[in-house]
């Protein structure tokens, strides 16, 4: 069960970074 929580946490963390970086790209273009 701990592994599932870790996977969900890393996925949400990656999604947050992806949204921020894509927002920066849109703002700069």
Share of the chain above pLDDT 70, in %: 100
DSSP 8-class letter at 22: H
Tokens found for residue 8: 């969900």
Average pLDDT of span 3-29: 95
- Its pTM stands at 0.57
Give the pLDDT band of residue 1 (cuts 50, 70, 90): confident
Task: Quote the number of domains for the chain.
Answer: 1
Share of the chain above pLDDT 90, in %: 90
Tokens found for residue 28: 């700069």
- Expressed as residue numbers, the domain containing 14 is 1-28
d(CA 6, CA 1): 9
pLDDT of residue 29: 86
């Amino acid at each position: 069960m701990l592994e599932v929580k870790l996977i969900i946490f890393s996925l949400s963390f990656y999604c947050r970074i992806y949204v921020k970086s894509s927002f920066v790209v849109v703002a700069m273009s």
